[in-house]
Amino acid sequence: MGHAITGGIASQVTLTRRAVALGGAAWILAGAGLAGCGGRGGDAATPADVPAGAAAPSAAVLRTAIVGRGEGDTRLMLETARIRPEHARFEFSNFASGQLVIEALNGGSLDLGGMSEIPPVFAAASPIHSFRQIAVLHGDVNNQVVLVPRTSDVKSLEELKGKRIGYIRATTSQYFLIRMLESVGLSWSDITPIPIGVADGLGAFSNGTLDAWAIYGYPIQRLVATEGARILKTALGFLSGNYLVSAHVDALADPARVELIRDYLRTVKRGYAWTSAHSDEWAAVISKDIGVPLEYVKDEFRRRSDVYELRPVDAAAVASQQAVADVFVKQGLIANPVDVRGLWDDRFNGTISGKG
């Protein structure tokens, strides 16, 4: 068994579909930190290579989160790749943001979930953080952008001064927007920041309420395709590309669930390897799932800064999240300094690297 990083902070399976109505929105993020539309209901889903109607075997259940459709939908990825876990049954629930995954972990209704580096930083600043970060999903940051309408005359980050800019609070969009403004000598007070969810943001962007939108995931492709929206700047150079897999502390204290988590990590690692090797097939599935033309998905794939890959916990990942925390403290968005080291647990590094 591995150990936490020290340094304090103050058989066959059935994949189930259970939509969780949190945040009052049907829109969910695509990719740990990416955006999408949640429309699936609560029906039971059987893996592609299990005959329809086959009885689900008796197996232990790992309650895990999906924060996305399309590229971020782990369930869809495993079904498409025809990959099954060895022993566990995964019970997937949809969430509207990584922040809500953190809330569910803290509330004990999840064993495992994904999010960007940002929501755990805010949780670490609070007295309740019933989770540990056990793995890094490294991936694309070019699908996180500042988007402007087709008719906008804004051509540079400097020209965002005085503009109404939408963002999603306590997410990568808030973080990379801060970093982008800083890069051209602007501060948060130089814009009119508008915290807004994905569903409301789509409407506000379309009706002209927003001059720009710091957003991620497939709304970008949809707005480019349907409204001629323009990407002002991608998050390349502003985001690390690290998205985090977190587990509830009770699950980590339970040897049986620890083995289920190992099974989950091995399974999704195979899934991401499959998507890298079958990008055209995966793009076609995503296109159908999120309802945008295939060419737009292929274009997004061509522009990716990196493919998605599950990586072990290391010092660089910890340092990256610490740098994120320091930015929010500097901006006064977190009152006191945060030491993120106590949020990490590296016991699954051998499993992720294939050595255990």
What is the arithmetic mean of pLDDT over 311-332? 97
The pTM for the full model equals 0.82
Q: What are the pLDDT digits (tens) for 204-263?
A: 999 999 999 999 987 898 899 899 999 999 999 999 999 999 999 999 999 999 999 999
Query: Alpha-carbon distance 138 to 229, whole Å?
Result: 27
For residue 291, what pLDDT is reported?
A: 86
CB 170 within 8 A of CB 96: no
Name all domains of the chain by residue range, CATH numbers in brackets.
15-139+241-353 (3.40.190.10), 144-234 (3.40.190.10)
The helix-helix angle for 294-302 and 279-290 (nearest 10°) equals 130
Residue 67: per-residue pLDDT: 87
Digit-coded pLDDT (tens) for 20-70: 323 322 223 333 333 333 333 333 333 333 333 333 333 589 999 998 778
pLDDT at 244: 98
b/e for 209-232, b at 16 or more Cβ within 10 A? ebbbbbbbbbbbbbbbeeeebbeb
Q: What is the pLDDT of residue 223?
A: 93
Residue tagged 């990590």 (tokens): 265
